[in-house]
């Protein structure tokens, strides 16, 4: 029963993580934020009792396929958008991949997570040369306004589950916060983006509607987005209508995988959120995924 559990790239390529996995299964994870190191070299504050922190503690990586795809698609000097930045794991990965000549714009509306995000970015700036990061305490949607953000239940163990309800809340309620919503078109102001990572808990369509100008002009080359509704969702349809080619994102033991989407199919494992790539450069994306090996599972930086 143990072999299938450890026959994963994050253990095969990092055998020492098996010990941490075993230890993590025996021990109750700490509810306190602490400094955790990702396999690719960054150190950041994360909570081992939360989903993202637990992944870092037991595997050294969060969402391997998406992490690897970002490393392969983001080039030095690129502009990267992180919509739903959480505590900054993907933000910092993008900043490392884009390098000092790049630029990262990170959006996180949860007022409880934003200070941790800022602290992680500020700490990373002191230890390595990376792209400048523009942090925005805001959500992205179809229009600029203020709305209520429903905060996750602490018992869920996943602080990334905050969401904007489909219907406006009639009144304020406990477990919610007032947040600013911006549009991506306004935030970009005509900039070209190499990659946008989108994890906004069901608000994808509204975000893409607010990026209609950038999408229509193909000023966003690649979008990596999570979508629990699958490839028939309104968000995916909007991207396809804008001329983007859609792939499901997955992984094998040796490398990330892309497969053109088919209704009802996903390369994601049962325990993973389904993620997709929408791109105006499908040949380039497929070419980037062909080489074997994992940049996300070996040091990419020297933490000083």
- Residue 266: the pLDDT is 84
Average pLDDT, the chain: 92
Poorest-pLDDT segment among 112-121, 123-132, 152-161, 287-296: 152-161
What average pLDDT does this structure show over 175-186? 96
> pLDDT tens across 268-300, in order?
887 888 999 999 999 999 999 999 999 999 999
Residue 230 predicted with pLDDT over 90 = no
**Is residue 39 within 8 Å of residue 10, measured between CB atoms?**
yes
Beta strand pairing status for 193-198 and 176-182? unpaired
Extended strands (E) in 31-157: 34-37, 43-46, 79-83, 103-107, 133-136, 139-140, 145-150
Instruction: Name the pTM for this structure.
Output: 0.94
Task: Count CB neighbours of 28 within 10 A.
Answer: 8
Residue 265 predicted with pLDDT over 80 = no
- Residue 273: the pLDDT is 86
- Residue 172: the pLDDT is 65
Query: In this structure, what token pair is assigned to residue 24?
Result: 């993590």
**Is residue 139 within 8 Å of residue 180, measured between CB atoms?**
yes
- Residue 225: the pLDDT is 97
Quickly state the pLDDT bin for 46 (edges 50, 70, 90): very high
- Residue 86: the pLDDT is 97
| Closest of 107, 287, 235 to residue 183, by C-alpha | 107
Task: Count CB neighbours of 185 within 10 A.
Answer: 18
**Is residue 212 within 8 Å of residue 185, measured between CB atoms?**
yes
> pLDDT tens across 242-259, in order?
999 999 999 999 999 999
What secondary structure, in 3-state letters, does 223-262 show? Answer: EEEECCCCCCCHHHHHHHHCCCEEEEEEECCCCEEEEECC
Q: What is the CA radius of gyration of the chain?
A: 18
Locus of tokens 């959006």: 107
């Amino acid at each position: 029963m143990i072999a299938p559990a450890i026959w994963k790239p994050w253990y095969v390529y990092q055998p020492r993580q098996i010990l941490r996995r075993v230890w993590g299964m025996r021990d109750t994870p700490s509810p306190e934020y602490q400094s955790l190191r990702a396999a690719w070299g960054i150190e950041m504050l994360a909570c081992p009792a939360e989903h993202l922190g637990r992944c870092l503690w037991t595997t050294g990586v969060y969402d391997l396929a998406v992490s690897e795809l970002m490393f392969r698609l983001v080039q030095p000097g690129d502009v990267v958008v992180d919509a739903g930045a959480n505590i900054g794991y993907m933000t910092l990965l993008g900043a490392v991949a884009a390098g000092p000549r790049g630029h990262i714009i990170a959006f996180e509306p949860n007022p409880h997570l934003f200070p941790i995000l800022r602290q992680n970015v500020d700490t990373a700036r002191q230890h390595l040369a990376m792209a400048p990061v523009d942090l925005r305490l805001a959500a992205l949607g179809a229009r600029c306004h203020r709305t209520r953000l429903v905060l996750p239940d602490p018992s869920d163990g996943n602080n990334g589950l905050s969401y904007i309800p489909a219907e406006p809340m009639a009144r304020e309620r406990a477990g919610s916060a007032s947040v600013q919503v911006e549009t991506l078109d306004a935030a970009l102001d005509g900039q070209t983006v190499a990659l946008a990572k989108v994890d906004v808990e069901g608000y994808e369509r509204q975000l893409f509607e607010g990026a209609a100008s950038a999408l229509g002009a193909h000023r966003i080359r690649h979008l990596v987005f999570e979508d629990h509704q699958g490839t028939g969702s309104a968000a995916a349809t909007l991207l396809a209508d804008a001329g983007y080619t859609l792939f499901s994102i997955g992984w094998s033991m040796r490398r990330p995988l892309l497969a053109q989407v088919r209704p009802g199919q996903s390369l994601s494992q049962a325990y993973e959120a389904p993620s997709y790539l929408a791109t105006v450069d499908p040949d380039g994306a497929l070419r980037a995924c062909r080489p074997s090996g994992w940049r996300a599972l070996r040091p990419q930086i020297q933490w000083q």
